[in-house]
Amino acid sequence: GQHGPLSSAWGRRRQFDCPPLAPDVIDRLKFTAITNAKFIVDKTDLQSGLVRWSVHADETDVVIYKGIDPYASPGSCLYMSVTRVAAPLDTVIARLQGARNPLAIDQLESAPLYSLVEPTAEDPYDRIAVTWRGFRSPLARLVAERDCCLLECQHAFLMDGRRVWVDATKSTTVPACPDAVDAFVRIMNYGTGLVCIEPEPGLVYIRHLVHLHFRGDLTPTVDDSHRAWLCDAHMMRRCRALFLMSSLHPPRSRHCAVCLKMHRNDSPLVPCRCGQTLCHGCSLAWRACAQLEDCPFCFVKSDEGVTPPTSSSSSRLDTDWSSISIVHSSSSVVTSSDAMYSDTCVTNDAMSHYSDTVVAPLPLPPPRLHVPTTPPVRFGFWKTT
């Protein structure tokens, strides 16, 4: 079928002239999108070995890691945030795909270019597309606005009975999107995405991976010594933005869940990730007593049988590419560097599924984030139709 423009809810709309893509180009884009999604899952595993992760910020509602990828270009920034949201996975996906996406806080313009895989009634959360996005600069006088041409891949699957949704993006090039668009500076995206895991109904753990090179020159008023600081500040802001999904929490009354005192404007309630709200006094008293960041309801729930994770359950994502036939290649195995930073053509039949994959467990957050420990399991992504 014809691969035409894709609808989008990201920012203002911009029109591009999008000529039809050749079949081999479509195959290459599909393969690259699927490969990138698989490596997003792998890179977010703290024990995979692909990235050297270190804790950069340990905050109440989110843990932010900073990583080093030996395959990436010098000057790139690699960060990951891990948080949890008290909402069903369907609600989280709908919010992340909608116009109120918290990750779109800097979205200025967008343009759908091509839709390569459309959602269906059987797989409503699966899609592959090419889009253009423009971002406003948080420091307009110092840093120019950025844009990117992205290859997007979204997929939902089951992992050991738990529902998982992956939203992965990566920089790509198509004739319809020139390198120079107005005054924007083109970002290089080495693989950015979300991995949303629902260990139990109504609770979703979210890993947000950001791997970018902002490129471009700074104004004369900012020297190179400040470049790293500006990059770090922007990436930290983006990682923290994920917890702006607080509206997904269940609606509560205007009373403290512990002392039942009514909320006053001069004494705001403190929200917890589970959706409960505490007054400032009860929040301070509980944290001083229990030495925990969770509220009493989280503590009771975790104390009733949820086991903290252990490092013995970690495992590397081991990809089996035997079911994917690569054109002009004598081997069906793709290394991490080849898959992440090169484009490879495949046949049409190989584009409708992932091969079986061993999935690593959740990243290990601080002890207060209780995640059920499960062994790695095998699962299949896109099935052959």
- The string of pLDDT tens digits covering residues 135-145 is 877 665 566 78
Instruction: Tell me the pLDDT band of 172, cut-offs 50, 70 and 90.
Output: very high
Average pLDDT over residues 237-264: 58
Q: Give the DSSP letter of residue 350.
A: G
**Strands 146-159 and 185-186: what pairing?**
parallel
CA distance 281 to 53: 36
pLDDT exceeds cutoff 90 at 362: no
Whole-number Å distance between alpha carbons of 241 and 102: 6
Helices (H) and strands (E) in the chain, counts: 6, 17
Distances (CA, A) of 372 to 199, 208, 218, 223, 305: 7, 20, 46, 47, 9
The confidence band for 48, taking pLDDT boundaries of 50, 70 and 90, is confident
pLDDT band at residue 62, thresholds of 50, 70 and 90? confident
Top pLDDT among 32 and 229 is at 32
* Per-residue confidence (pLDDT) for residue 26, from 0 to 100: 93
Q: How confident is the model at residue 128 (pLDDT cuts 50, 70, 90)?
A: very high
The helix or strand, by DSSP H or E, that contains position 318, with its residue range, turns out to be strand 318-319
Percent of the chain with pLDDT over 90: 17
More confident residue, 297 or 171: 171
Per the model's pLDDT, the better-predicted residue between 95 and 126 turns out to be 126
Contact 84, 369 (CB under 8 A): yes
Length of the chain: 385
Q: Which two tokens stand for residue 207?
A: 């890993």
Predicted local distance difference test score (pLDDT) of residue 117: 93
As a whole number, mean pLDDT of residues 340-358 equals: 38
What are the distances in angstroms from CA 16 to CA 132, 149, 304, 354?
A: 9, 12, 55, 31
Question: Which burial class, exposed, middle or buried, applies to 219 when counting CB atoms under 10 A from its CB (0-12, 13-18, 19+)?
Answer: exposed
Q: Tell me which CATH code domain 12-248 carries.
A: 3.30.530.20
pLDDT at 108: 77
Return the minimum-mean-pLDDT range out of 11-25, 307-321, 354-368: 307-321
**3-class secondary-structure state, position 224:** helix
- pLDDT in the model for residue 183: 72
- Is the model's pTM score more than 0.85? no
Q: Answer yes or no: are the C-beta atoms of 258 and 238 closer than 8 Å.
A: no
Under 8 Å CB-to-CB from 255, ≥6 apart: which residues?
261, 262, 263
pLDDT at 322 > cutoff 90: no
Q: Are 33 and 153 in contact (CB under 8 A)?
A: yes
Statement: residue 69 has pLDDT above 50: yes
pLDDT of residue 89: 93
The domain spans of the chain are: 12-248
Specify the pLDDT at position 265: 54
Residue given tokens 């890179």 in the structure block: 43
Provide φ and ψ at 117, rounded to 5°. Answer: -135, 120
Task: State the Cα–Cα distance between residues 185 and 303, nearest whole angstrom.
Answer: 50
CA distances from 175 to 7, 21, 179 (A): 19, 9, 9
Mean pLDDT of the chain: 67
Residue 305, token pair as written in the block: 């049988």
Q: What is the pLDDT of residue 255?
A: 64
Mean pLDDT of 341-351: 37
Q: What is the CA radius of gyration of the chain?
A: 22
Identify which of 99-103, 190-194, 348-352, 367-371 has the greatest average pLDDT.
Answer: 190-194
What is the C-alpha separation between 59 and 288, in angstroms, rounded?
A: 17
- Comparing 188-202, 272-286, 339-353, which segment has the lowest mean pLDDT? 339-353
In terms of DSSP bridges, do strands 146-159 and 162-171 run parallel, antiparallel, or are they unpaired?
antiparallel
Residue closest to 63 by CA, chosen among 363, 383, 372: 363
What is residue 384's DSSP assignment?
P
Higher pLDDT, 253 or 319: 253
